[in-house]
Structures are given as C-alpha cells and as structure tokens.
Amino acid sequence: MSRQIGAKSIKSAQRVFEVLEYFDADHREAGVMDIARRFNYPQSSASELLSYMVSLGYLRRGRGSRSYELSMRVAMLGAWVQPRLVRDGRLLPLMDSLAEQTRGSVVLASNNGVELRCFHAVCRNDVGGGDSIGAVQQGDMLPLLHSAEGLVLLSRCERQLVRRYVHRLNAEAVDAEARVSFDELAARLDEVSDSGFAWVEHAGGLSIAVNLPQSEPTEPLALGLRVGPGACRETMLRMMQSAMSRHLGLFEVMPPAHSARPSWPAAMGAQR
C-alpha cells in the first residue's frame, strides 16, 4: 500500500523551497520577521523552519545573530546540472551583464509540460514594477502561450505536442482572450524558428527571448530580456547576441525537433 503524503507535509516542503528562493542579490540575509511577512507565516513557524534549515546545513547564521543567509551547500546542490553553463560559471555573469547593460530584466525559464517557470531573474528598476512586463521574480509562473520565453521554447517542440498544450490551456482558460488558435500559433512558431528569437510587445514594454545554447535537450532553457517602453527591438537583440557571444563563446541555437532551422547568429546577420 502506497504511503499517502499529507497536506501538512506538502505545506512544509513548500515552505522550505519558498525560503530558499527568497534569497537573491537583493536579499542576501533575512530575519525571522522578513520571512514571516513575505510569506505570511506565523512568526513561531518561521523561526522553527529557519533554525531547522540551519541544522541541515542549507542556511547559516548571518553577520547579525538574528539573521540568516544561504550556505555553500545550496550553491553546490545543483552545480552538476548543465555543467557547461552552471559549474563553469558562464550563465550568471551573462545574465548580470545583460541586465546591467540594458537596464532591463533578464529571465531564465524552462517549461515542464504546460507549466513555464522562471528559474532565475536579474532585475533592474528601469523596467518598472507592479504589473509591468518586467516584474518577474524567481519562481514565478509565466504564460506558456503568451510570453516570449514560452514561444521560443515551443518553437523546438513537435507541433502535435504543441497542439495538445494549446487544447489543454484553452480548456483551462477563464478569460476568452487567453485562448489561442493552434494554426495561428503554429505559424508564429515557424517564424520564431526561422528568426531564432521570439518577441512580445505589451503596454508595459518589450520582451525578447532565445533558446539558450548548450542547454541539455531534456531540459531546454530560454533566456529572456524584458525592457521598458520605447526600447528598440533590433538594438536589444544585438545586445543579447553580443553578451551571449562574449560569455558563452561561439554558439549555435539548437533547431526545433520538427525541422532544421537556421541558427540565431545567422538569422541576426541577415537582419543587419
């Protein structure tokens, strides 16, 4: 008889990951009340959770006796995943550099079926907050069919799989405007495959994404750049290409599974 996982255990596991994802360049340390307020935890529960994570070695005491910070155990936890990007230290400097240069937000995302999640984000204030296109944080879910990151990842998928995704997401959509036509989407994905990038423009700004070179076929990654209104798409693309070439060396975007498509650098050269 299989053991059933109780709701309390699931909630506890969720809290552990929420705490881990809280820490970033802007939140290098956190106290009990920081975590309690951010996630609406009872203060006593937040205190017990942080102390337990210290005992496991995933957190350590910060410079202040009442603060906590991530330990090296967290840094090494997934270093073996995508080693050419993570262990060799190329990916995060690329994202930092691109965000600083464009004053935008740089997003690393991947999908698991119809769920598209932001794994890491480097944000700059110039993009804006609230509901703007650049307001993305680590752990956020992104719309697979309506984001540049989602479109560029879907461009690599077999079209029959994309059709199934569209059917499911259309069935789950509450807002009629969120539903899409598969034929129109397939045509858009062919354009993305040909050009090597996807872009989405909103009132809040511009979003551009490419398939990240050197990512494993089993877990393709999209690198997205989100900038505020008035940004030039061609200029942002050239800045992305320059940053990726500088940090990753010569590269070639992997073509989608259904057909051979030109790489992004070739497509970029044709646009100049």
Return the CATH number at 47: 1.10.10.10
pLDDT over threshold 60, residue 268:
no
- Hey, which of 127-131, 188-192, 254-258 has the most confident mean pLDDT? 188-192
Asked if residue 243 belongs to a domain, the reply is yes
Q: Which two tokens stand for residue 39?
A: 């996630």
pLDDT over threshold 80, residue 9:
no
Picking from 76, 111, 136, the residue at the C-terminal end of a domain is 76
% of the chain surpassing 70 pLDDT:
82
φ, ψ (nearest 5 deg) of residue 236: -65, -40
Residues 119, 78: Cα–Cα separation, whole Å: 12
Give me the pLDDT at residue 49, please: 95
If asked whether residues 35 and 159 sit together in one domain, one would say no
Angle value at C-alpha 119, between 207 and 29, nearest 5 degrees: 115
pLDDT, tens digit, 9 for 90 and up, residues 153-185: 999 999 999 999 999 999 999 999 999 999 999
Give me the pLDDT at residue 11, please: 84
Asked if residue 34 belongs to a domain, the reply is yes
Residues 207, 231: Cα–Cα separation, whole Å: 10
Structural domain boundaries, residue 175? 91-271
- The 3-state secondary structure of 200-266 reads EEECCEEEEEEECCCCCCCCCCEEEEEECCCCCHHHHHHHHHHHHHHHHCCCCCCCCCCCCCCCHHH
Asked if residue 18 belongs to a domain, the reply is yes
If asked whether residues 172 and 260 sit together in one domain, one would say yes
If asked whether residues 72 and 203 sit together in one domain, one would say no
pLDDT over threshold 60, residue 262:
no
If asked whether residues 108 and 225 sit together in one domain, one would say yes
**Beta pairing, strands 198-202 & 222-227:** unpaired
Distances in whole angstroms, Cα of residue 90 to Cα of each of 83, 86, 200, 214? 10, 7, 26, 11
Mean pLDDT of the region 38-56: 92
If asked whether residues 151 and 215 sit together in one domain, one would say yes
If asked whether residues 69 and 112 sit together in one domain, one would say no
If asked whether residues 154 and 262 sit together in one domain, one would say yes
Asked if residue 86 belongs to a domain, the reply is no
If asked whether residues 29 and 140 sit together in one domain, one would say no
CATH of the domain at 239: 3.30.450.40
Asked if residue 81 belongs to a domain, the reply is no
If asked whether residues 104 and 18 sit together in one domain, one would say no
Residues 99, 121: Cα–Cα separation, whole Å: 9
